[in-house]
Structure 1
């Protein structure tokens, strides 16, 4: 049976977490391996920031336990050895789901390194089942290649994604849009998919939605926008805004749109970096927000104020958004939330 048949569904990210899971970077798989020390400093800052709100499990390769553990003193940061090729746990980790009895299970999606871009990925494709095994959590294998960064849910029947990624032939070439939507609905238990067109320019994931837009609540969507008509992201943001303005969610609500201005463009080695405030991460009672400094200071402040207005009771914890973005992702891409439940085994 599918998870939805058993009343499982994916909770929204702002639901209470038991912990955050995050994978430690692997130098050999980095785009810029000479930057490894700086990336590790960025991960250290991120993990320490998350630990101010909730426990963190850091996944390392066997043999690296002591070296990584020595960076941390907080009692709620634990080290777990699971072999992996790369560090983006949002994309190769399990998607956690909860049933009506408040029992936890996990979806094991197929993973092929964002359409076969980075080899090898054999270990990464096994991270989700290994994590579920470690935590004694029921596993559902999904017949679909899908990364966690390509979907957002509102917890009330609606899912947000992009056609550029989820329908990309480098993921599931033999499946139609209708077949992909059906599989997703059966596994995360949603009723409606809102399909945005494209993600940001320069996004190596083929347009993950977690750099573009996310739910702030049922019927309410935050979206990064660009008002500069000469910018490559202008047309993309206008398309996505038009889709949201004309959309209704699973309950028939029109979408309240909350725009956040994108920061100024930055390039590294001739390539545009995917700078996004929407790659923030919900933690218990707070938000971890990547900020970019320099010519983005004004935009950093506007993004922080926008989020504080939407979430007045949350503490906005800012961290250096430039620390890991050259590797192709940011705060949300590195993390995976484990929801808080009464039992983990899903059989209870």
Structure 2
């Protein structure tokens, strides 16, 4: 373990870097939903959606699903035998944010970054309390895999960043510069730390994430790399929708930016579903606790087709709106001609505050 890396022993200085999601994987990590104050009806509908996502990803890579002990038998019963169920306690099921960011080395080694996690804002806007089990997940996965773990005090969630694997990272100011994350760090500090721990050399800053995104604007819900020099961006032509101004602002920045290799980015628009809102029947199935974010009838959800997972042979996308599902799938088929696009009914995941990318974390091929 590398508990206190110096300037000469940072992951980047040692030759490690974070690969792009579209690079080959050895595995995908997920967690099992169960908390009744976030997932309706004891998480049973959400569990069915998680099973469908895991099955689709497992077509071309190993899938690990971490489960609390009291749900182990239930999860093992619901998940197919080829999906590996492991006891890995968590406070909730957002592996993208509570899990490790994996790194690879040219000599074939795998390592991870162990970010600090405070449940998307700690006691200043965080989504639940406590988050002690979530903080131990990265340590446990490092032990299970026997890989080096680079510890950093930087508060950051995996959904807040997206990389092209060639030196470029996209993130949002809304999230990384939020005072409930790293109040004493500015852009230059963050860029230096991201370079040290991820091996990137260029950061493209988008001002805001999707409208009403409770993660304080995670970039993986707004835009992502689909190939070197190519980005997918959630989009709406409805100028009366608050999302329009956010997406237009992001489009202008992305089209005028260059990546770490000097390329101008090509931006592909994905239609926004909805807008989508929580129904009365959906809100009524969630337990109300003071330690978690309430789910209120009529609340707008930050639905986005950009929140997909790029697997080895598949792209697993959310089905969210019959009016736009097919169009979004057709666009993704054009962007990923070598992969099969699998659309999963993902409203139950969205009701919990995120989507398919949020519940997954790729383990790159070392």
Normalization by structure 2: what TM-score? 0.90
The answer (yes or no) to whether the contact 2:317–2:356 under 8 Å persists in 1 is yes
Q: Matches of 1:32 and 1:67 in 2, distance apart?
A: 16
Give the corresponding residue for 1:331: 356
Shift of 1:72: 2.3
SS at match of 2:120: helix
Shift of 1:35: 5.3
Alignment of 1:43-58 (within 5 A): 43-58=50-65
SS at match of 1:14: coil
Q: Matches of 1:72 and 1:275 in 2, distance apart?
A: 26
- In the comparison of the two structures, how many residue pairs are matched? 336
Q: Matches of 1:56 and 1:310 in 2, distance apart?
A: 24
The answer (yes or no) to whether the contact 1:211–1:279 under 8 Å persists in 2 is yes
Give the corresponding residue for 1:18: 26
Moved over 6 A (4+): none
Aligned mate of 1:272, from 293, 296, 300: 300
Give the corresponding residue for 2:310: 282
**What is the CA deviation profile of residues 13-44 of structure 1, one whole-angstrom value per residue up to 9, with x for unaligned ones?**
0111111100101324x424435111111111
Q: Matches of 2:245 and 2:23 in 1, distance apart?
A: 33
The answer (yes or no) to whether the contact 2:34–2:42 under 8 Å persists in 1 is no
The answer (yes or no) to whether the contact 1:26–1:85 under 8 Å persists in 2 is no
1:314 is aligned to 2:339 = yes
Aligned mate of 1:162, from 172, 176, 180: 172
Give the corresponding residue for 1:346: none
Give the corresponding residue for 1:345: none
The answer (yes or no) to whether the contact 2:258–2:264 under 8 Å persists in 1 is yes
Shift of 1:231: 0.4
1:27 is aligned to 2:35 = yes
Give the corresponding residue for 2:236: 226
The answer (yes or no) to whether the contact 1:223–1:258 under 8 Å persists in 2 is yes
The answer (yes or no) to whether the contact 1:213–1:223 under 8 Å persists in 2 is yes
Give the corresponding residue for 1:101: 107
Give the corresponding residue for 2:252: 242
Q: Matches of 2:39 and 2:339 in 1, distance apart?
A: 35
1:186 is aligned to 2:196 = yes
Say if 1:32 and 1:315 are closer, same or farther in 2 by CA, change over 3 A.
closer
Q: Which runs of 5+ in 2 are unaligned?
A: 1-8, 279-296
Give the corresponding residue for 1:66: 73
Q: Matches of 1:304 and 1:167 in 2, distance apart?
A: 33
Shift of 1:149: 0.3
Q: Matches of 2:136 and 2:80 in 1, distance apart?
A: 29
Shift of 1:113: 0.1
Q: Matches of 1:23 and 1:72 in 2, distance apart?
A: 12
Q: Matches of 2:357 and 2:79 in 1, distance apart?
A: 21
Q: Matches of 1:270 and 1:72 in 2, distance apart?
A: 33
Q: Matches of 1:252 and 1:18 in 2, distance apart?
A: 30
SS at match of 2:246: helix
Q: Matches of 1:14 and 1:218 in 2, distance apart?
A: 10
**What is the CA deviation profile of residues 48-101 of structure 1, one whole-angstrom value per residue up to 9, with x for unaligned ones?**
2222222110100124322210112332x1111122111101001000000120
SS at match of 2:348: coil
Give the corresponding residue for 2:117: 111
SS at match of 1:58: strand
SS at match of 2:203: strand
Q: Which deviates further from its counterpart, 30-39 or 53-62?
A: 30-39
Shift of 1:142: 1.4
SS at match of 1:199: coil
Q: Matches of 1:112 and 1:97 in 2, distance apart?
A: 22
Q: Matches of 2:148 and 2:15 in 1, distance apart?
A: 14
Normalization by structure 1: what TM-score? 0.94
